Amino acid sequence: MSTPDPEGVLAEQLLRLTRRVHRIQKRHLEWRDLGVTPAQSRLLRTLAHYDSPPRMADLAQRLEVVPRAVTTLVDGLEAHGKVRRVPDPSNRRVTRIELTDEGRATLSELHGARRSAAEEILAPLTEKERQVLGVLLDTLVDGDTPMR
């Protein structure tokens, strides 16, 4: 008879939760009919954090993907008028990516979709449980390991 593996159970729970979060967020995106994939929405959210239009290489690094993946995402977003390529003012060989007005409007809708997805996911929890979960998630995201 084997002994239970609590870390294995936790790992499986985290993986199941991650899949559920992705499924629910995808559904909320589809309901809003924004014509944006989850990967494209991530690129839009990332673009919004820059003070000035980044290079594609900057986006690839921030998203932790290969540059070719960013090119594909930008191509799709540009075709739908959500981003545009602009020349770098100091180096004409460099292209930068900026949000369009439509991209900003889509980003606003994306935030709404994410909020409604989070509400659905967190619905079973009390306010106190949500606060505790927030502290636990911050600890996991930051990677802080308590001294034992």
Q: What domains are defined for the chain?
A: 23-141 (1.10.10.10)
Task: Specify the residue for token string 């180096």.
Answer: 91
> Do the bridges between strand 83-87 and strand 95-99 make them parallel or antiparallel, or are there none, so unpaired?
antiparallel
* Pairwise pLDDT comparison (42 vs 2), residue with the higher score: 42
Residue 4 pLDDT grade (very low, low, confident, very high; cuts 50, 70, 90): low
| Helices 101-122, 38-47: inter-axial angle, 10-degree rounding | 120
Return the pLDDT at 2: 61
Task: Check: CB of residue 102 under 8 Å from CB of residue 78.
Answer: no
Tens digits of residue pLDDT in 61-110 = 999 999 999 999 999 999 999 999 999 989 988 999 999 999 999 999 99
Tens digits of residue pLDDT in 24-67 = 988 888 888 888 888 999 999 999 999 999 999 999 999 999 99
Return the pLDDT at 92: 86
Q: In three state form, how does the secondary structure of the chain look?
A: CCCCCHHHHHHHHHHHHHHHHHHHHHHHHHHHCCCCCHHHHHHHHHHCCCCCCCEHHHHHHHHCCCHHHHHHHHHHHHHCCCEEEEECCCCCCCEEEEECHHHHHHHHHHHHHHHHHHHHHHCCCCHHHHHHHHHHHHHHHHCCCCCC
Return the pLDDT at 70: 96
Tens digits of residue pLDDT in 112-138 = 988 999 999 999 999 999 999 999 999
Residues 115 and 146: their CA atoms lie apart, in Å, by 31
Residue 5 pLDDT grade (very low, low, confident, very high; cuts 50, 70, 90): confident
Return the pLDDT at 62: 96
Q: Is the pLDDT of residue 143 over 80?
A: yes
Q: What is the reported pTM?
A: 0.74
Return the pLDDT at 114: 87
